[in-house]
Structures are given as structure tokens and as C-alpha cells.
Structure 1
Amino acid sequence: MGKRLGSFRPSRRLLFAAGTAAAASTVASAAAAEAVPVSPQSPADAAGGLLTLGNYGSGVLGAWDRQARAISNEAQIRRTRENDGVFMFGDSIGVQDGPALARQLSKLGIMVAVHNWAGRPVTPAVDALDTWAQDYGLPHRILMSVGSNDIFTPPAVAAQVDRTMQIVGEERTVYWVNVQAARTAFGADIKVSDQRNSAWINLQLAEAQRRYDNLRIVHWAEHLASSPNRLARYLRDGLHPSKPLGQNARNSLIVDAIKAG
């Protein structure tokens, strides 16, 4: 694939800025975490237990298949495909923000079919994309709102981005929202790991954008880092958008990217 001229490649400084600020805000009051009372399942769905730090410092992703989900029925999927709308694949942020996003896009005459599942990392989301491609065919716009649950194993992302682009082909456009995680429920060490791993994921997305002309990055992390206090105002827990302020801001970035083509 050719490199898209003028594509924006985020700097390491900007990607790390948001997480560094989040971690620094609690250094004075929070001790470094060793065993924190949270669920090891995902950054999005804590419900008790002990966090195991894992190889990358953010924890260990456990079972997510019983978490909350929002998946369009077959009729909605087929209508969206026939009307060349948007297929969306997301995690818990998609479960939370997907309905509001669909309402915004409907005002533009754009239908949406969703496959959003809380706690889900990138690989099974791409599995779902592949299944829909085989069962229904794909519209010309695909939205990937996943990656936050890959802070546990960030190296896995690059291959799945490549796999996504192979599934959709050169004639369709993929919009991929990059990630920001520095979970406020945990101590400074975990916050720093979360942000380091978020930046690692985002750099893989930026590198992929250089290879694929039809990959568009929605720069959520940079948007949060670009103005003081956005982390506190736009994220309710260091990960999920606050409602309505953060939700509106993130969804507006997505809508603007889709409108830009």
C-alpha cells in the first residue's frame, strides 16, 4: 500500500502527555500498587478480585464473553449493508456510546450496525468483522472502536490491524479510534503502565496508517492531551468517556472523520 500524503503521525511526546498527567495527579496520595482489589478481566469491567500485574504492568485480561454487549440483529445488519452505512466493532466504550453515535449519524442519513462487546480486545473484534464480511458483505465504511482492552498485551495489535485491512480490502475505508487509558482506580505505577501501553497501541496504529491509504485514525488520545483538564472532564474513570461531555466529544471526532471521508 502507498503512504497517504500528509497523514498525521502522532508524536511520542503527545501520546504520553495525557497518561503522565493522570499518573502525576495521584502520586502524592497513592502508593505503588502491588495487589489491588479489582477484577483482572478488563480495564472496562472491574467487579472484585485481585489484579495480577502481568507482563506489561496493567494486569491480565480474563474472560470477557459474559460481559455486556450490543449486537445488531440480522435485519439491521442487512439494511445497513444495503444502504452502504457503517459497520461498527467496539468494546465497552462502544456499548456505552454507540447508541448516541448512531443517532448522530442517522441525522446525516447514515445507518449503523454494531457489534460492541465489553471487555473485548482487538483480535475477537476482528474475528467478528471477518464473520460479517463472509455472512453479509461489507459496506464501504468500517468503524473500529477497540484497543483499550489490549493494554494487557499491546504487541498483539499490529497484526490485527493488518488483518483488518486485508479483510476490508483497498476499496473500503476503516476508521480506527485510538486509545487512552490511565485508570484512576489504581495507583500511580499501574496508571503509568496503562499509559505506556496505550501509547504503544497508538504508535502501532500510526505506523499502520503509513502503510494503508484507506486507514483513518480518530485521534482521541491527542484530543484529550491537547487541553488542560480534559482528562478529568472527559473521562469518568481514566478510560470511559463521561456522559454527556466526554461521550459527545469522542462521538463528534468520529462523526467528523466519517464526514471527511
Structure 2
Amino acid sequence: MRKRLGSFRPSRRLLFAAGTAAAASTVAATAAEAVSGSPQATGGAAANLVSLGAYGSGVLGSWERQARAISNEAQIRRTRETDGVFMFGDSIGVQDGPALAKQLAQLGISIAVHNWAGRPVTPAVDALDTWAQEYGLPHRILMSVGSNDIFTPPAVEAQVERTMRIVGEERIVYWVNVQAARTAHGPDVKVADQRNSAWINLQLAEAQRRYDNLRIVHWAEHLASSPNRLARLLRDGLHPSVPLGQNARNGLIIQAIKAG
């Protein structure tokens, strides 16, 4: 479905400016131990040369045994029947999902979640497809994934297209764009993280031009719009700080859902 001419279309300059600001703000950070559930790259000087991967951010670690939050069948069906929100997320969703659910409940909106730390986009869309077949879908789908695709950013475009085919033209997809420049890693990795984040966000922006029912939640631009936001709203260059970053990111999601 084609976008109408009056729709918002973030420019490449804006997205890459967001990336440049984020990289500059984190390049001098001291290396620290990576937090559980964040994107992983192998440590050690020799190993690090190998672990940088094809795109400079490293190699995605095993995520299948990481923390997850998945609604039970009763909650899924109740959310579908009341036309609430289905959410598919990663470690940020695991962390921020409960607070988001409380805010949505105050608006009379139910939510069912399938959040899994460390998970990239492809298996998240697999979960969406499974729920679509087993339960049907509500009118609103929230995709809070993409941060773990900095290791292979070209994979995102096909999965966005696949998502839009699954949901069809009558439902709305809210997709939170990404910001990664992990402070646990050196300058080269942080710059690669930011470059790959911008690459992912450009794919989302291009998809928004093609689909009238795709809404981008502009988390990356929000972080880059003020000099101190990255340090205040992110605790490790990726995950929102609690409560400031969590409230800011969830607030953007709530605004988007209210806007329809």
C-alpha cells in the first residue's frame, strides 16, 4: 500500500545525523563488562579480530536460553478478543514491557507479549506468524526488535516485508527504530554499531514509504535530538535506563498508538 504524499518521511541526512551524534557521544566510554541480554561479541584481543564479523559489530551470540517474557494462551486470546496490542520484542521488551502494559491498561488497552532477550528480527517475525495462525491478530502490532540485527543489518528489509504481508493492509504495525553504540566495546565496534543501526533505520524508513499502515516510533531521533539524552536515557549504549529511558521510550510508543 503506497503512502500518501503528506505522510512523514524521515530523511537519510536526519537518520545518519542521529547516528553520528550517538557514535561521537560514546566513542570515549571506558570498556565494561557487557550486560546480560545485550548483543554479544567475543572478548579478547585475538578473538575480537575474528568476532568483528562482516559488518564490524561482532557476531550474534546464542539467545535461545536468555530471558524471555511470553504471555499465556488466556492472555493472548483475551487481547485478541478485545482488539488490544500484540508485542514482539527483544531484551528491551523484556525490561520495559511490564511498565508499558501498565500504561496501556490505564488507556483500557490490553497487551499480549512475546519478548525474548537477544533475539533478532527473523525469529520474532516467526513468532508473529505463529500467533497469526493460531490466534488471529488484533488491529495493532508492536514490533520492538532490530537491535540484535546490527550484526547482519541487510536481513531486516525482507523481514519487514514479511511482517507486512502477515498482518495485511487492515492492521497497523508500530515499529520502534534502533539505537546501538555499546559502551562495553571499543571505538571501532561502537562506530560499527551506530552505522549498522542507521542502516536498519533506513530500511524501516524506506518500508514506511511503501506501506500506509506502517508507523515508525522514532526512538533513535529522539535520543539524538538533545546532547545529553544518550547518556541519560541509555544505560549501556543500547538498553534504556530505568526509569528515565524506559519512560521516554514507552512514552513514544504510547503517543504513536494514541495517534492511530
Q: TM-score, normalised by structure 2?
A: 0.92
| Contact 2:37/2:67 (<8 A) preserved | no
SS of equivalent to 1:165? helix
Q: Which residue is equivalent to 1:16? A: 16
Letter in 1 for 2:74: A
Q: Which residue is equivalent to 1:54? A: 53
The 5-angstrom pairing of residues 90-105 of structure 1 reads: 90-105=89-104
SS of equivalent to 1:56? coil
Q: 1:153 and 1:110, CA in 2 relative to 1: closer, same or farther beyond 3 A?
A: same
SS of equivalent to 1:155? helix
Q: Which residue is equivalent to 1:116? A: 115
Q: Which residue is equivalent to 1:230? A: 229
SS of equivalent to 1:142? strand
Deviations 1:196-219 (CA, angstroms, capped at 9, x unpaired): 100000000000001110000000
Deviations 1:95-152 (CA, angstroms, capped at 9, x unpaired): 0000000000000000000000000000000000000000000000000000000000
The 5-angstrom pairing of residues 29-178 of structure 1 reads: 43-44=38-39, 51=48, 52-178=51-177
Letter in 2 for 1:14: L
Q: 1:150 and 1:25, CA in 2 relative to 1: closer, same or farther beyond 3 A?
A: same
Taking the aligned partners of 1:70 and 1:89, their CA distance within structure 2 comes to 10
SS of equivalent to 1:114? strand
| Contact 1:4/1:212 (<8 A) preserved | no
Q: 1:161 and 1:27, CA in 2 relative to 1: closer, same or farther beyond 3 A?
A: closer
Q: CA deviation at 1:227?
A: 1.0
Taking the aligned partners of 1:194 and 1:5, their CA distance within structure 2 comes to 32
Q: Which residue is equivalent to 2:3? A: 3
Deviations 1:5-30 (CA, angstroms, capped at 9, x unpaired): 32222223332334433433455677
Letter in 1 for 2:237: G
Deviations 1:62-81 (CA, angstroms, capped at 9, x unpaired): 21100000000000000000
SS of equivalent to 1:240? coil
Letter in 2 for 1:195: Q
Q: TM-score, normalised by structure 1?
A: 0.92
Q: 1:163 and 1:228, CA in 2 relative to 1: closer, same or farther beyond 3 A?
A: same
Deviations 1:170-213 (CA, angstroms, capped at 9, x unpaired): 00000000000011111111111001100000000000001110
Taking the aligned partners of 1:57 and 1:48, their CA distance within structure 2 comes to 14
Q: 1:3 and 1:21, CA in 2 relative to 1: closer, same or farther beyond 3 A?
A: closer
SS of equivalent to 1:251? helix
Taking the aligned partners of 2:28 and 2:137, their CA distance within structure 1 comes to 50
Aligned length: 256
Letter in 2 for 1:225: A
Q: 1:234 and 1:37, CA in 2 relative to 1: closer, same or farther beyond 3 A?
A: closer
Taking the aligned partners of 1:107 and 1:202, their CA distance within structure 2 comes to 30
Q: 1:19 and 1:43, CA in 2 relative to 1: closer, same or farther beyond 3 A?
A: farther
| Contact 1:94/1:145 (<8 A) preserved | yes
Letter in 2 for 1:10: P
| RMSD, matched Cα | 2.2
Deviations 1:37-63 (CA, angstroms, capped at 9, x unpaired): 869x97446797754000000001121
Letter in 1 for 2:97: G
Q: Which residue is equivalent to 1:245? A: 244
Taking the aligned partners of 1:229 and 1:176, their CA distance within structure 2 comes to 24
Structure 1 residue ranges without an equivalent (≥5): none
Q: 1:209 and 1:61, CA in 2 relative to 1: closer, same or farther beyond 3 A?
A: same
SS of equivalent to 1:217? strand
Q: 1:29 and 1:167, CA in 2 relative to 1: closer, same or farther beyond 3 A?
A: closer
Q: CA deviation at 1:2?
A: 1.5
Taking the aligned partners of 1:159 and 1:235, their CA distance within structure 2 comes to 28
